[in-house]
Amino acid sequence: MPPESSLSPYRRGSGPITIRARVQVQGLPRPDENRAGNLSVMLTFVNTFKKDTMRKVFIPLLLLVTMTVSAQFSKFFHDKTLRIDYAHSGNATSDAYALEGLYEEPYWGGSKVNLISPFDYGNYKFTVTDLKTGELLYSHGYSSLFSEWQTTAEARETFRSFPENVVMPYPKKPVMVDFYNRTRDNVWVKKFSYQVDPGSYFISTERRLEFPYFEVQKAGDPATCLDIVFVPEGYTQAEMGKFRADCERLAGYLLKCPPFDAYSSKINLYGVEAPSAESGADIPGKDVWKKTIVNSSFYTFDIERYLTTYDMRSVRDVAANAPYDQICVVANSQVYGGGGIYNHYALFTSDNPYADYVFVHEFGHAFAGLGDEYYSSDVAYENFYNLSVEPWEPNLTTLVDFNSKWKPLVTPGAPIPTPVSEKKEFPVGAYEGGGYTAKGVYRPSHDCTMKSVSYNNFCPVCQKAIQDMLEFYTR
């Protein structure tokens, strides 16, 4: 999330972190970065199956494939969730995993058809294979605060431990779960493996934070919809009515923003009524400390606007009260700030004047793996991207392998790199500056919701990335 004077992404920890060097952080740009109008260029989608004869053949085949894959889900999984909690520790150059516990959660909100991720996104991924046959049953990519922290100055000087967790459909038979790290050279390395016996009595069924949930929008079956759960942070019991109203307002922002608007009939949104003892969120730099349900805090990595939480156990415990694919933590505050981490969570404040922008921007990180396109805001990272390889984010490139990125969407005739002076003539190109770096990293368009404080302004490349993810979750 950029700074409020520029806006960039956020994250948070259990306590203040002192960093003596200036580093870069992933999140929002600052609100002082230029507000741009919506791009006039929109993606055109082609209907491949226009002829009646093709429909007569294709639709029955599609139904047959869907039924077959759904039967495959029932063969290997129960319709509930297995959560694996672990500690992720290390420094700038090393890391280690340590198992903390396994938990059964009552709902599986994900697809029962698309179980193997086709997206090579995230700094980490895990795979689930049948222990007896070795068959790949499930895979999922994600990122975390730990991977961001590794790029800070503090990580060069000390070791830290971060709580993390992943979720998967609950297996019927013993499985092997393998965890992989992406190296700076863009190579996947297996770092940790754990054999799960689904019949083990050490898998906890305790519901530590059990609360009622409500439907903000119910579009359909969670298995065929994108399921988003709003987790309240810093709302007291007396403020649950405000939380409901905030969820309705935030949902309205998202469902009016392209390309989400075209999928509004395939998006479920829920809210969990989980009260905090006090209103607000921690602001360590101003000596403000609040007793809240998921322990969020500004000043993550000593960046004032970066609002995150390390308390992933509480985040998952609250979210588990409803079916979900994506977690959105709503902090009851007027302060500008937020953070979004791919397949981890999006966190933002409810009442800041830029709440619409911050929510959609951070959700772009968490849901579609979009990278920050700004490069002039203060952040907490050092050398975040290796310029000799392609970034995994779909909206950033080093031009090392531009053919693998958005080259087909480039405006005809656009030079690569694309001069800023040609921004009106070439709405999609490769404009230098992005990913907190002024040189060597390129973004698709001159402006976008991932660059500056402009709501409802995703560029065509970001829209395509979001659409691809929506298709994955809703097929």
pLDDT, position 380: 63
Total number of domains constituting the chain: 1
Answer whether 4's CB lies under 8 Å from 377's CB: no
In total, the chain counts a number of residues equal to 475
Answer whether 144's CB lies under 8 Å from 12's CB: no
- Alpha carbon separation from 87 to 101, 146, 192, 214 (Å, rounded): 10, 10, 12, 32
Q: Following DSSP, what letter does each residue of 159-184 receive, concatenated?
A: -EEEEEEEEEEEESS-EEEEEEEE-T
Question: Per the structure block, which two tokens stand in for 59?
Answer: 């639709």
pLDDT, position 70: 59
pLDDT, position 29: 66
- Segment 100-114, tens digit of pLDDT: 999 999 999 999 999
pLDDT, position 64: 41
pLDDT at 131 exceeding the cut of 90: yes
Q: What is the mean pLDDT of residues 337-348?
A: 98
Phi, psi (deg, nearest 5) at residue 202: -85, -5
pLDDT, position 179: 98
pLDDT, position 417: 98
Q: What is the mean pLDDT of residues 280-299?
A: 98
91 domain-assigned: yes
Residue 92: Cβ within 10 Å count: 17
**The domain that contains 103 carries what CATH number?**
2.60.40.3250
E-strand ranges in 38-135 read 77-90, 95-105, 124-130
> What residue type is 185 in one-letter code?
D
Q: For the ranges 44-48, 134-138, 228-232, 282-286, which has the lowest average pLDDT?
A: 44-48
Q: For the ranges 1-10, 209-218, 416-425, which has the lowest average pLDDT?
A: 1-10
- Segment 258-273, tens digit of pLDDT: 999 999 999 999 999 9
- Alpha carbon separation from 146 to 61, 96, 123, 248, 306 (Å, rounded): 44, 11, 10, 32, 15
78 domain-assigned: yes
Q: What is the mean pLDDT of residues 4-23?
A: 36
Answer whether 435's CB lies under 8 Å from 389's CB: no
3-state secondary structure 394-454: CCCECCCCHHHCCHHHCCCCCCCCCCHHHCCCCCCCCEEEECCEEEEEEECCCCCCCCCCC
Q: What is the mean pLDDT of residues 16-24?
A: 33
pLDDT at 16 exceeding the cut of 70: no
- Give residue 437's pLDDT band: very low, low, confident or very high (50, 70, 90): very high
8 CB burial (10 A radius; 0-12, 13-18, 19+): buried
215 domain-assigned: no
447 domain-assigned: no
Q: What is the sign of the dihedral through the CA atoms of 101, 102, 104 and 110?
A: positive
Q: What is the mean pLDDT of residues 170-192?
A: 97
pLDDT at 451 exceeding the cut of 80: yes
433 domain-assigned: no
Task: Determine the structural domain holding residue 112 and report its residue range.
Answer: 65-196
Q: pTM here?
A: 0.88
User: When comparing pLDDT for 6 and 10, which is higher?
Assistant: 6
Measured between alpha carbons, how far is 153 from 69 in angstroms, rounded to an integer? 47
- Segment 224-233, tens digit of pLDDT: 999 999 999 9
Helix (H, G, I), strand (E, B) or coil at 155: helix
pLDDT, position 302: 95
pLDDT at 21 exceeding the cut of 90: no
pLDDT at 351 exceeding the cut of 80: yes
Which run of H or of E encompasses 58? helix 52-76
Mean pLDDT taken over the chain:
88
pLDDT at 218 exceeding the cut of 90: yes
pLDDT at 296 exceeding the cut of 50: yes
Helix (H, G, I), strand (E, B) or coil at 23: strand
- Segment 51-64, tens digit of pLDDT: 344 334 433 443 44
- Segment 65-80, tens digit of pLDDT: 444 455 789 999 999 9
pLDDT at 403 exceeding the cut of 70: yes
Q: What is the mean pLDDT of residues 398-425?
A: 97
410 domain-assigned: no
12 domain-assigned: no
108 domain-assigned: yes
- Give residue 384's pLDDT band: very low, low, confident or very high (50, 70, 90): confident
How much of the chain, in percent, has pLDDT values that exceed 90? 83
pLDDT, position 72: 86
pLDDT, position 260: 98
pLDDT, position 30: 58
pLDDT at 48 exceeding the cut of 70: no
pLDDT at 247 exceeding the cut of 60: yes
